[in-house]
Amino acid sequence: MRLLFIGDIVGRPGRRAVRELLPGLVEKYAPDAVIANGENAAGGKGISSKVADNLFQLGVSVITMGNHTWGNKEIFALLETERRLVRPLNYPPGLPGQGWLKIETSKGPLVVVNLLGRTGMAGPIDCPFQAMERLLAEVDAPVVVDFHAETTSEKAALAWFLAGRAAAVVGTHTHVQTADCRILPGSTAFITDLGMTGPVNSILGVKTETIINRFRTGLPERFEVASGPAQLAGAFVELEQGKAIRIESFCEYTDREEDEGGTC
Give catalytic residue positions. Answer: 68
Q: What residues pair up with 113 in beta bridges, in sequence order?
A: 100, 145
- Count of other CB atoms within 10 angstroms of residue 246: 13
Nearest to 111 by CA among 150, 147, 62, 177: 62
Q: What residues pair up with 63 in beta bridges, in sequence order?
A: 36, 85
Return the exposure string of 1-19: e unless at least 16 CB atoms fall within 10 Å of the residue's CB, then b: bbbbbbbbbbbbbbbbbbb
User: Residues near 136 by Cβ (< 8 Å), separated by ≥ 6?
Assistant: 143, 165, 166
Nearest to 132 by CA among 153, 112, 150: 112
Computed on alpha carbons and rounded to an integer, the radius of gyration of the chain in Å comes to: 17
